[in-house]
Amino acid sequence: MPMVDAIIGEIDREAKTTQRVLERIPEDKLPWKPHPRSMTIGELGMHIAVAPLVLSEVVVKDVHEFGPNPKQGEVTRQTILDTFTKSTQKMKEVIGTFDDAKMASAITMTKDGKTIMAIPRAGFVRAIMMNHIYHHRGQLSVYLRLLDVPVPSIYGSSADEKMF
């Protein structure tokens, strides 16, 4: 089985969970944040939504130079959900073009011309692309708890949603 088949299967499974978490973002709380240095819940939701697109643009390069993060426009829950759907589809399309040799080839990350990391593309896809999204999804679930919004099950039952 090609490596990308397993990865695309995981993307499909995890996207359903992420979608459920994003759907819980309260429209009237988009500007809320738990701490002055934190992102707002709207910014965090949009960050999760655009991450697959941004990272799929990076993974096709052999060398990526980090620059400033792009600014987001107006955020609504529906914009977040629509963006996540399109972004995830793009990530699957890009990764679907890779064979095992491409997945084994290196990608190098630089900042101001200095190498930050060089990693096999498969490692980048797993450790950076996918885990980055899961990490922020976990943050979002904490935001939901702090706002007393029912947290959906993610990898098992939550206090609000039983799997069994």
SS3 category, 40: coil
Reported as a single tens digit per residue, the pLDDT across 4-14 is 999 999 999 99
| DSSP state at residue 124 | I
Query: Bridge-partner residues for 117, per DSSP?
Result: 109
For residue 131, is it within any domain? yes
SS3 category, 23: helix
Backbone angles phi, psi at 61, to 5 degrees: -90, 155
Tokens read off for 156: 């098992």
pTM, whole model, 2 decimals?
Answer: 0.92
Reported as a single tens digit per residue, the pLDDT across 48-80 is 999 999 888 899 999 998 877 666 678 999 999
For residue 1, is it within any domain? no
Helices assigned H by DSSP within the chain? 3-23, 41-59, 77-96, 100-104, 121-123, 131-146
| Range of the structural domain that residue 52 is part of | 13-64+74-146
How many domains does the chain fold into? Answer: 1
CATH at 26: 1.20.120.450
Tokens read off for 141: 């679930």
